[in-house]
Amino acid sequence: MIMTGTDNHIAGLGNLIEFTNYTGWSRFEGEPVTDSGNFYDSKPQRGIPGYEGYLNERVVAIPEVLRDGGYHTMMAGKWHLGLKPERAPHVRGFNRSFAMLPGSSNHFNYRPEGEVKNGTPQFLDTSLICLHNEDGKYVDLEDLPKDFYSSNAYGDKIVEYMDEWHQEQIQKDESSEKPFFAYLAFSAPHWPLQAPKEHIQNYRGVYDEGPEVLRQQRLANLVKLGLIEKNTEAHPVLDDRVEGWDEFTEYEKEMSCRSMEAYAGMVECIDKNVGKVVDYLESIDELDNTFIMFMSDNGAEGAAYEAYPLVKGPLLEHIRKYYDNSFDNIGAANSFVWYGPRWAQAATAPSRLYKLYTTEGGVRVPCIARYPNYPAAIKHDFATVMDIGPTILEMAGLKHPAPTYQGREVAAMRGKSMHSWLKV
């Protein structure tokens, strides 16, 4: 929806609803068997229009329009819109791209010996490895740096691409200069919860009082910041699949808090890399010539996979075999944890529930936009991610090509431009 300004079903990414047993990869470093980056599949729907599992040809990607309109386009990070080379970002309008192709992976590029060749639970098919593609070519796992961490790698790569663009502009006369469009899509803080130790250690003990205390602190701070009204009544915490905090043993509480500390470390590392990009733009005197939008892709991930009958057996057995989730190791490359529904609802309060639900806790997300030379404001109007593409195109002075593009019929954008609204 972000890439096209239209509905995800029109674009080929309709929800896939049924578990299957495909292994997902023809060989560990080879071409994927399937285009889907999800761990779901649907036999009745698979392959029909709207359920291709990749960004289809019935839509035009926003970077395609921008590239054709004279922009230099670049991206780094999560793609999740197709695994094969013919579905990679460079085919859909990006001049430069370093893309993590599936929906999730180990953030450190950790690969336990024997994990793949011995077979894996299909739930983890796209969570095992870092499958990357740069400018149309798969990146060999051995070529990734030893200190690879997803957020740092993507932040560094987008700055590298920006610097290439900047150096090219220095060599051009004013009439031939190109503006740029950059898309930086972090994989973090998606599970597994992993972060560099220097970030995790900043949160030791911060969450020891548990998720309900954190929830009340967050709600109070939202009121203080003017993001919600003082008399807002938060929706009650909902989840009967896992035990409540008061029913945890002391050890279980400590382990749960450690997972939250790892999550916080991931978020801090994202913040550091966003700052890296902003600092670079400022250093080349382009910050006040650049529109910046930062947002989440969905509500907090609150799934309690340990309670899902379809995955908990093979999943937990797999983690016990290949990962070290001991107390002092949580957050490391060879750990694999999530934080569950109660911490998630501390994050999404006052809204109801979290990711995978079509309640506000699942679909209402934080969004921060920096529009140069306009005063700060908090807006509560309704908008959707389909509105981002039309907004960017209006800012760029470009029109969507529907009903045809490169000789094929394409869908029009369903979103509406927010440009005039942002300026109010």
Which domain CATH number covers 18? 3.40.720.10
| 275 is a domain residue | no
* Residue that has been written with the tokens 């090509």 in this structure: 401
**H or E element that contains 276:** helix 250-283
CB atoms within 10 A of CB 165: 21
Q: Half-sphere exposure of 175 toward its Cβ, with a 13 Å CA cutoff?
A: 0
pLDDT at 40: 40
| 208 is a domain residue | no
Provide CB contacts within 8 A for 234, sequence distance 6+: 215, 219, 349, 350
| 114 is a domain residue | yes
pLDDT at 124: 61
DSSP 8-class letter at 235: P
Of 360, 313, 305, 312, the closest CA to residue 191 belongs to: 305
pLDDT at 23: 34
pLDDT at 389: 97
N-term to C-term CA, the chain? 25
Domain that holds residue 382: 1-187+374-424
Token couple for 284: 């080349």
| 352 is a domain residue | no
pLDDT at 309: 74
**H or E element that contains 292:** strand 292-295
**H or E element that contains 367:** strand 367-370
Question: CA-to-CA distance for 287 and 377, rounded, in angstroms?
Answer: 19
Of 89, 79, 91, the closest CA to residue 130 belongs to: 79
Q: State the total domains in the chain.
A: 1
Question: CA-to-CA distance for 264 and 224, rounded, in angstroms?
Answer: 21
| 313 is a domain residue | no
**pTM, 2 dp:** 0.90
Q: Half-sphere exposure of 290 toward its Cβ, with a 13 Å CA cutoff?
A: 20
| 19 is a domain residue | yes
Per-residue pLDDT of the chain (424 residues; tens, 9 = 90+): 999 999 999 999 987 544 333 333 333 333 333 444 343 444 556 678 888 889 999 999 999 999 999 999 999 999 999 988 899 999 999 999 999 998 888 999 887 776 655 555 555 654 555 689 999 998 887 888 889 999 999 999 999 999 999 999 999 887 788 999 999 999 999 999 999 999 999 999 999 999 999 999 999 999 999 999 999 999 999 877 667 888 899 999 999 999 999 999 999 999 999 999 999 999 999 999 999 999 999 999 998 888 777 677 777 888 888 899 999 999 999 999 999 999 999 999 999 999 989 999 999 998 999 988 888 888 888 999 999 999 999 999 999 999 999 999 999 999 999 998 887 6
| 140 is a domain residue | yes
| 301 is a domain residue | no
